[in-house]
A and B are shown apart, each in its own frame.
Chain A
Amino acid sequence: MTTKYRGAAFVSLLTAGALALTACTEGDGGTDAPEPGQNVATDSGEGATGGTEEGTQPGTITVAVDSEMTAYNSQTASQNATWNTYVENGTRAGFWSYGADASIVREEEFGTYEKTSDDPLIVEYTINDGVEWSDGEPIDCDDVLLEWASTSDSYTDAQGKPLFSPASTTGMEDVIKPDCQPGDKKFAAEYKQPYVDWELTFQAGNIPAHVAAKEAGLTPEELVTAIQEDDVKALTPVAEFWNKGWDMNPGKLLPDELIPSSGPYLLDNWQAGQSLTLTANPDYWGTPPKTETIVLRLLDEAQTLSALQNGEVDIINPSNPTVDTVATLEGLQGQVEFTIATDLTWSHVDMQQGEGRVFEQVEVRQAFAKCIPRDLIVENLNVPVNPDSQVLDLREFFPINEEYETVRSEAFPEDLYGETDVEGAAQLLEDAGVETPVPVRFMFDSENPVREDIAAFIKSSCDEAGFDIQPTPDIDWGAKLTGAPGEYDAVLFAWAGSGVVSSGAALYQTGAGQNFYGYSNPEVDKLWDQVLIEVDSAKSVQYRSDIESLLWEDVFNIPLFVGNNVTAFSSEIEGVENNASQTGVTFNMDEWSRIGG
């Protein structure tokens, strides 16, 4: 009995406790508390929030990405990567940007520039009044000077190592230090020698100099002085911050004051491994973005289709689309729209043509070019994905460029290589007097099934012409390309084109960085030298057209086709464009909007 009583007392005590707990919470919250779940953020549902100008519609558009951002500063050699560019497309603005076809688009809202002299090359820049960082700091002289200091390879530390470690110094290293005072919105860039891609040199709105200065314990004015006086000691902490200070671990956005935006969107919220949210910059000086919130969701590419179908993402951009991708997308018509276009990755066959190599004689290379069934390859591997696919006949111009057709008619020997010609190839081999079958160790990436197919097509056709194609798939093909040129005779891979004219020189000039094949043609060398310093675009095209002719004459390599790029999006979204360049589908995120608001 006693035990029972004690137990009951215990229970009543606990019950009383629970009731007391209830009572005091009730007192705090009130009895007419809203339904659970009602305390959701309703910003997105209630029209534009304070500060956002007309034109920005409330709502969210979600785009699938396959990698997370890693840094705010993507100008460094270690962080210059597409996943950072994807975000910067919305958070930075500058004098120019890449258009959907990788052409250069001038951003007149940001500022203007004008070439005032060809030789010496002088470009005069003006940043518009009112153009500022999202923290209110104007974009001006200090940003320009830091951009020059960080990417021109002008400063070295005591050990002789570069102070800043930028991804690229090309172009900027030829610019004489701009002369401007703190607060100046105008400056002139004078080049030590003319430079073909001069338009790409200055962005101005990419890196906030005032933040870097503050982190290094300087005022923006002191930073300007330090650069003007080449004060390496003062610049060292700036460089340290510039190199590493803007790197971020997943989900760890730096404090707002370190990561201001110069573009239409602000970095808002980052959930590691899940999503990155950008919201419209309320103080944006340019045309306001069309949609308030853009969410970049991290998702493996193979899974994007079902996510799009389920409405969890609105825009997807799966790389290397296959026939299956396209078929699935066609099956979703009405719910999903998609566009296919070619991009700038171009597959090609390169040949080792140095002394003593199989492809030393030009006739052998010509024969190879004749027997490779380029039309058959494109018809079987590309047309099913994109009916507009065509054989690529040039190297420095792509079907997406407006000059392509003109240059092609000038430079491409249609009569020789327009169609597969096995007999012609056999004839050439006979003329060359080489012993047939000619053994060709044909290297390609062992993990890429498409290249395996291409190799099979080439083997079946060229073996008939008198070659003996020995496919050598290799996982280390990239390292062997430079590291073991003796281990292959021909190699199949793709270059990822960048839209930068000058980068072609490294592929074709004698002994240049990416000419691994012993190719040397003094005329090509000379023409490239001219291209590099040619600031007139028409002349530049003409030079490169001449180069293409020479490359076909020598059959330096054999271009096959350009890759395809698919962008698919919900039918409720408009403004999405396919983008051929490496900047990705987010390049015009400020144009995206939901139909009907």
Chain B
Amino acid sequence: MVAFIARRLMISAVLLLVGTFLAYVLIALSGDPLQDLRQDTGPDRENRIAARTELLDLDTPVVLRYFLWLGGAAKCLVPFAGECDLGQSIRGQDVTFLLSGAIGATLRLILVATVMAVFVGVVVGIVTALRQYSRLDYSATLASFVFVSLPLFWFAVLLKQYIAIDVNDWLGDPVVTVGTAVAVGLVTGLAWGGVIGGSRQRTLVSFGIGFVGGAGLLLLLSATGWFDSPGIGPIGVAVMALASAVGLTALLSGFGYRNVLYAALVMAVIGIVANLSLGAVLFDPGWWTLLLLLLLTVAVGVGVGYAMGGLQRRQAVQAAVWTGVLTGFAVVVDRMLSAWDNYAEAVNGRVVPTFGSETPNYDGGFWGNLLDSTTHLALPTLALILVSVATYSRYTRASMLEVMNQDYVRTARSKGLNERTVIIRHAFRNGLIPITTLIAFDVAGLLGGAVVTETVFGWQGMGRLFTTALTEVDPNPAMAFFVVTGAAAVTLNMLADIAYAYLDPRIRVS
């Protein structure tokens, strides 16, 4: 393993070095960095050209300039020396500084998107695999192909128009018409019918429940003026907590042996009580407080599950912990939405923004700011998710189908295990192994590849840094981008290989 890592690192370093040279030369020769000044007739023309020539060292041959750059960049490898010098941009700003800002923005943008895309993709993949060749499967396949082939810039325009501008207009007078409700009801009904599956009668019943649930909920919310000031409220939190408890139990152990259910329910009740009693802690917390509460939740969950699990202690711990986490999430969403009115007033009712990462000069306390970040993340995250869900769901589906036909799954079935145990315990985990590799590739790609998303939604991330540098023929920021994304790709690929070997003992790295 060590030899493998050492060899990989060495090869990667050489590759990266050659890559930087090529990239530098290509970028430096890709255009004329003085272009904009050449068209200027003002009296400042000559001095500005001279200043930029000096700043970017344009009189030095490109190859020599590369080595000068390399000399500065090499200092970045010395840890804690603080002498990192990635040069200056065409506007005279420190590239190291620009880079740190860009990485921060990109990470914020892709973190949530990646997590959600993986989650949704895996769920859709498993469901479609289990309902292979059903209408749901075909619809999901069609949808993934549509989304994966949509040009992002165009898709972004649609999102801005329909999810931002139109929704904001609608929020001015939020009334759901019967037609809309019926349409939404049809969609939810079809989805439920497809997911539940089974006999014709069962499908029809699921469809009916989905239809009435979707359309009815919408009309109810509209009639009660919920959309004027959305929220969950303590009752909503309680319902969600109990529902998570029941749902997770059903998923993890079933209701045969009740201890797991009890553990989960106790956890839900603790969550509900905590929600009612922690008002002051949650009034204006910080990230550290929330993290502490999360750890506390996990600890309580472990305790409850351990204490009440009985024979199925492991499942009980899992169910209790996840119930706690989901309840906590509901509480967070509830609190966040409590800042809705305040936030809506600050942005003149235009709640869904089309660009940027924050409302300038808005300070709504922790929850208001969280809501602000969330609404700003909404469109770009949606765009990124829809595009990458396709890959994840297709891979998961294929991998699940393959695993489901393996001998050990048949063995598990023949031992008389119920379908849930077969899927969750035996098939699901093994089916996920290829996805780890995919995630590693995807994160590396997203680090540098959210160019269009960043441009369209006004995020000054890595992609934007690179495109701006390229249009201005500004090698230094472009090189910073190249080094970071190149290094990330190399490292993450290596991690993927190691993880793969770890997860699948049949594979050896050597």
* Residue pair A19, B360 in contact (C-beta under 8 Å): no
The one of A22, A70, A77, A514 that contacts B281, using a Cβ cutoff of 8 Å: A22
* Min distance, Cβ B307 to any Cβ of chain A, angstroms: 3
* Residue pair B97, A250 in contact (C-beta under 8 Å): yes
Determine the chain B residues whose CB is within 8 A of the CB of A271 once the complex forms: 358, 360
Cα–Cα distance between A476 and B473 once the two chains are bound (Å): 11
One digit per residue, 1 when the CB lies within 8 angstroms of any chain A CB and 0 when it does not, for chain B 26-63 equals: 00001110110011111111111011100100000000
Q: Does A362 contact B (CB under 8 A)?
A: no
Q: Does A293 contact B (CB under 8 A)?
A: yes
* Residue pair B350, A272 in contact (C-beta under 8 Å): no
Residue in B closest to A279 when the chains form the complex, CB atoms: B361
* Residue pair A478, B39 in contact (C-beta under 8 Å): yes
Determine the chain B residues whose CB is within 8 A of the CB of A78 once the complex forms: 48, 51-52, 55, 92
* Residue pair A15, B32 in contact (C-beta under 8 Å): no
Cα–Cα distance between A479 and B58 once the two chains are bound (Å): 12
Count how many chain A residues have C-beta atoms less than 8 Å from C-beta atoms of the other chain.
Answer: 93
Determine the chain A residues whose CB is within 8 A of the CB of B362 once the complex forms: 40
One digit per residue, 1 when the CB lies within 8 angstroms of any chain B CB and 0 when it does not, for chain A 539-567 equals: 00000000000000000000000000000
* Residue pair B42, A303 in contact (C-beta under 8 Å): no
* Min distance, Cβ A271 to any Cβ of chain B, angstroms: 7
* Min distance, Cβ A479 to any Cβ of chain B, angstroms: 4
**Which residues of chain A (506-561) have a CB below 8 Å from chain B?**
506-507, 513-514
Q: Does A390 contact B (CB under 8 A)?
A: no
One digit per residue, 1 when the CB lies within 8 angstroms of any chain A CB and 0 when it does not, for chain B 285-304 equals: 00000000000100110011
Q: Does A38 contact B (CB under 8 A)?
A: yes
Q: Does A497 contact B (CB under 8 A)?
A: yes
Determine the chain B residues whose CB is within 8 A of the CB of A277 once the complex forms: 360-361
* Residue pair A307, B51 in contact (C-beta under 8 Å): no
Q: Does B20 contact A (CB under 8 A)?
A: no
* Min distance, Cβ A96 to any Cβ of chain B, angstroms: 16
Q: Does A165 contact B (CB under 8 A)?
A: yes
* Residue pair B355, A293 in contact (C-beta under 8 Å): no
The one of A10, A247, A297, A479 that contacts B93, using a Cβ cutoff of 8 Å: A247
Q: Does A434 contact B (CB under 8 A)?
A: no
One digit per residue, 1 when the CB lies within 8 angstroms of any chain B CB and 0 when it does not, for chain A 341-357 equals: 00001000000000000
One digit per residue, 1 when the CB lies within 8 angstroms of any chain B CB and 0 when it does not, for chain A 284-323 equals: 0000000001010111101100110111100000000000
Cα–Cα distance between A14 and B307 once the two chains are bound (Å): 14
* Residue pair B38, A478 in contact (C-beta under 8 Å): yes
What range describes how many residues of B lie at the interface? 35 or more
Q: Does A117 contact B (CB under 8 A)?
A: no
Determine the chain B residues whose CB is within 8 A of the CB of A21 once the complex forms: 278, 281
Cα–Cα distance between A247 and B366 once the two chains are bound (Å): 33
The stretch of A105-113, A136-144, A167-175, A229-237 that contacts the partner chain: A167-175
Q: Does B91 contact A (CB under 8 A)?
A: yes
* Min distance, Cβ B295 to any Cβ of chain A, angstroms: 10
* Residue pair B303, A14 in contact (C-beta under 8 Å): yes
Determine the chain A residues whose CB is within 8 A of the CB of B284 once the complex forms: 36, 39
Cα–Cα distance between A493 and B34 once the two chains are bound (Å): 15
Known contacts A33-B283, A40-B346; decide if A250 and B101 are in contact (CB<8 Å).
yes
* Residue pair A496, B39 in contact (C-beta under 8 Å): yes
Determine the chain B residues whose CB is within 8 A of the CB of A298 once the complex forms: 356, 458, 460
* Residue pair B92, A297 in contact (C-beta under 8 Å): no
The stretch of B337-345, B388-396, B398-406 that contacts the partner chain: B337-345
* Residue pair A167, B48 in contact (C-beta under 8 Å): yes
* Residue pair A272, B101 in contact (C-beta under 8 Å): yes
Determine the chain A residues whose CB is within 8 A of the CB of B52 once the complex forms: 77-78
Known contacts A22-B278, A251-B101; decide if A37 and B342 are in contact (CB<8 Å).
yes
Residue in B closest to A168 when the chains form the complex, CB atoms: B44
* Residue pair A167, B161 in contact (C-beta under 8 Å): no
* Residue pair B368, A37 in contact (C-beta under 8 Å): yes
One digit per residue, 1 when the CB lies within 8 angstroms of any chain A CB and 0 when it does not, for chain B 85-108 equals: 000000111100110010001000
Most chain B Cβ neighbours within 10 Å, of A40, A170, A252, A506: A40
Determine the chain A residues whose CB is within 8 A of the CB of B168 once the complex forms: 310-311
Known contacts A11-B303, A33-B280; decide if A311 and B350 are in contact (CB<8 Å).
yes
* Residue pair B360, A306 in contact (C-beta under 8 Å): no
Determine the chain B residues whose CB is within 8 A of the CB of A165 once the complex forms: 47, 51
Residue in B closest to A166 when the chains form the complex, CB atoms: B47
Residue in B closest to A244 when the chains form the complex, CB atoms: B92
Q: Does B164 contact A (CB under 8 A)?
A: yes
Residue in B closest to A200 when the chains form the complex, CB atoms: B43
Q: Does B365 contact A (CB under 8 A)?
A: yes
Determine the chain B residues whose CB is within 8 A of the CB of A80 once the complex forms: 44, 48
* Min distance, Cβ A232 to any Cβ of chain B, angstroms: 20
Q: Does B247 contact A (CB under 8 A)?
A: no
Residue in B closest to A499 when the chains form the complex, CB atoms: B42
Q: Does B165 contact A (CB under 8 A)?
A: yes
Cα–Cα distance between A79 and B55 once the two chains are bound (Å): 11
Cα–Cα distance between A495 and B45 once the two chains are bound (Å): 12
* Residue pair A274, B274 in contact (C-beta under 8 Å): no
Known contacts A15-B300, A40-B362, A250-B93; decide if A306 and B41 are in contact (CB<8 Å).
no
One digit per residue, 1 when the CB lies within 8 angstroms of any chain A CB and 0 when it does not, for chain B 407-444 equals: 00000000000000000000000000000000000000
* Residue pair B348, A311 in contact (C-beta under 8 Å): yes
The one of A7, A249, A303 that contacts B308, using a Cβ cutoff of 8 Å: A7
Q: Does A275 contact B (CB under 8 A)?
A: yes
* Residue pair B280, A22 in contact (C-beta under 8 Å): yes
Q: Does B208 contact A (CB under 8 A)?
A: no
* Residue pair A273, B41 in contact (C-beta under 8 Å): no
The one of B41, B356, B368 that contacts A507, using a Cβ cutoff of 8 Å: B41
Q: Does A327 contact B (CB under 8 A)?
A: no
Residue in A closest to B156 when the chains form the complex, CB atoms: A303
Q: Does A158 contact B (CB under 8 A)?
A: no
Cα–Cα distance between A372 and B323 once the two chains are bound (Å): 76
Determine the chain A residues whose CB is within 8 A of the CB of B44 once the complex forms: 77, 80, 167-168, 170
* Residue pair A37, B41 in contact (C-beta under 8 Å): no
Q: Does B157 contact A (CB under 8 A)?
A: yes
Determine the chain A residues whose CB is within 8 A of the CB of B365 once the complex forms: 36-40
Q: Does B456 contact A (CB under 8 A)?
A: yes
Known contacts A37-B342, A307-B355, A312-B350; decide if A269 and B41 are in contact (CB<8 Å).
no
| Additional A-B contacts beyond A475-B30, A481-B38 (20; CB < 8 A) | A7-B304, A25-B280, A29-B280, A37-B342, A37-B343, A40-B365, A77-B52, A168-B43, A251-B101, A273-B459, A274-B460, A277-B361, A303-B455, A307-B354, A307-B355, A310-B350, A311-B350, A496-B40, A498-B40, A582-B42
Q: Which residues of A contact B (CB under 8 A)?
A: 3-4, 6-8, 10-11, 14-15, 17-19, 21-22, 25-26, 28-29, 31, 33, 35-41, 44, 60, 62, 70-71, 76-81, 165-171, 247, 249-252, 269, 271-275, 277, 293, 295, 297-300, 302-303, 306-307, 309-312, 345, 475-476, 478-479, 481-482, 493-498, 500, 502-504, 506-507, 513-514, 582
Contact sample, A vs B, 18 pairs, CB 8 Å cutoff: A7-B306, A19-B277, A21-B278, A22-B278, A25-B283, A37-B338, A37-B343, A37-B364, A60-B361, A167-B51, A249-B98, A250-B101, A303-B455, A306-B157, A306-B355, A475-B32, A478-B32, A479-B32
6 residue pairs, one from A and one from B, having the closest CB atoms: A7-B307, A273-B460, A37-B339, A77-B51, A167-B44, A37-B342
